[in-house]
Each structure stands twice: as C-alpha cells, then as structure tokens.
C-alpha cells in the first residue's frame, strides 16, 4: 500500500477511506483500487498518454509470470544508475542504465512500435506495445531506428543509446507499464547481467 501511496502522492489513509478497506495490508492480486486526487504525469509532445488512470490495478499473477518468460534487458552492457521509485519531490517511473553513447538499444519483448519520436524531457523515445496490456518505453535515444506500426522481435535493435532530452549524460531511461501504469522493471526482468550500484531496489525487486 505504501508503494501505491508514493506512486500517486496520496496518503494511505485516503486510499483506505476511498475503498473502505478494513485492512490496508491485505490487498489481493488483481484487486482494483480507487485513487483520490490522482497525480498525472505530463507526456509532452505528440499526445502520447503516459499518465495513469484513476485506478491502480496490479497485474494478475499469471500475467506477470508469463511476461517474465518473454521479456529481457534492453541493453547488453552498462550500469543501472537510478532505480524506480521516489526521487526527491517526484516519482521516477523507470530505471536508468548508463552505457556508452551509441550502444544498441534492444526491444525487451516482441511487440509493435506504438510511438517513435520526441517527447518533452524524454528526448528521442520509442514506445512498444506488447500483448496482455504491457508496454515498454525507451528514452534519451541518440537515434530511433524503427517507425510507428512496425513489428519488432525481442532483442532487435530499435534505437541507439544517447543523451537527448533532460538528462545529465548518455543513458537509457527504461519503463515497463501494465494498463498504462508504470511498474518496477525488476518485478519482471530476469536476473541482471549488468553492473549495479551497491544497493538493493527500494521496492524489493
């Protein structure tokens, strides 16, 4: 419940009242929650909707398990430099992977290119739509190599890693979304083959 509270900037007490929950620690997989006063992220240009809806719905367990068998890391080299979760006064909706500029950015799973262009803050960005309501986002690219509507396979190069948009250096900002809600990528990604900071994910991934 605390993760949901942080995600939307709404107190646990407000969520409990809105849903008439008897025990906030007992939330079932797939249970839908009403979130009062939802904070929405601005998507920037091109009208791509990155904001969440008014209800948080955790993916069913079987959906998560199947997705784990289909998804992989979007780069083959680099270091995770920033985690999913609160970052100062805002919420970081993905992970950042520092890697050499121009390194290949790979499709994390089979899908269709839903967006390939520029978004304010994100720079050059690719968004892939996958089955079962999943989507992945790849931002700060040096160059996008795919077009909207194109089908891609897991491991296919879709962009070159860069530093476009609001960033301090070359890195890939990577998001995984389910029904347009950002989730910690570590929930579904396989064990990391990348160098990682000497810490654990704040969300237990």
pLDDT tens for the chain, 205 residues: list them: 445 544 555 556 667 777 777 665 566 655 677 776 544 434 333 334 444 434 445 677 888 888 889 999 999 888 888 888 887 778 888 999 999 999 999 999 999 999 999 998 999 999 999 988 899 999 999 999 999 999 999 999 999 999 999 998 999 999 999 888 888 898 889 886 665 554 433 333 3
Domain spanning 58-197, CATH architecture? Distorted Sandwich (2.70)
Q: Report the alpha-carbon distance of residue 11 to residue 141 in Å, rounded.
A: 35
The greatest distance separating any two alpha carbons of the chain, rounded to the nearest whole angstrom, comes to: 52
CA atoms within 13 A on the CB side of 49: 6
Distances (CA, A) of 119 to 45, 122, 163, 205: 5, 5, 13, 28
CA atoms within 13 A on the CB side of 154: 13
Helix (H) or strand (E) holding 33: strand 32-34
Q: Report the alpha-carbon distance of residue 37 to residue 154 in Å, rounded.
A: 37
Q: Where in the chain is the domain with CATH 2.70.70.10?
A: 58-197
Sign of CA dihedral 33, 34, 35, 40: positive
Locate tokens 């069913």: which residue?
60
Residues 6+ positions from 134 with CB-CB distance below 8 Å: 67, 109, 176, 177, 178
pLDDT of residue 30: 56
The model carries a pTM of: 0.70
Q: Report the alpha-carbon distance of residue 99 to residue 65 in Å, rounded.
A: 29
């Amino acid at each position: 419940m605390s993760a949901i509270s942080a995600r939307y900037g709404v107190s646990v007490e407000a969520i409990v009242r809105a849903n008439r929950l008897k025990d906030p620690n007992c939330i079932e997989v797939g249970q839908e929650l009403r979130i009062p006063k939802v904070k929405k992220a601005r998507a920037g240009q091109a009208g791509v909707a990155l904001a969440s809806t008014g209800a948080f719905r955790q993916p069913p367990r079987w959906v998560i398990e199947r997705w784990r068998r289909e998804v992989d890391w979007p780069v083959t080299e680099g270091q995770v430099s920033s985690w999913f979760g609160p970052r100062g006064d805002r919420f970081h909706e993905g992970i950042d992977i520092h890697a050499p500029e121009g390194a290949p950015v790979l499709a994390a799973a089979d899908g269709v290119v839903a967006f390939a262009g520029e978004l304010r803050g994100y720079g050059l960005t690719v968004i892939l739509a996958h089955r079962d309501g999943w989507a992945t986002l790849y931002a700060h690219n040096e160059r996008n190599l795919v077009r909207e509507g194109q089908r891609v396979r897991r491991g296919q190069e879709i962009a070159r890693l860069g530093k476009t948009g609001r960033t301090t250096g070359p890195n890939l900002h990577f998001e995984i979304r389910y029904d347009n809600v950002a989730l910690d990528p570590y929930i579904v990604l396989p064990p990391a083959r990348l160098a990682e900071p000497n810490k654990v994910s704040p969300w237990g991934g």
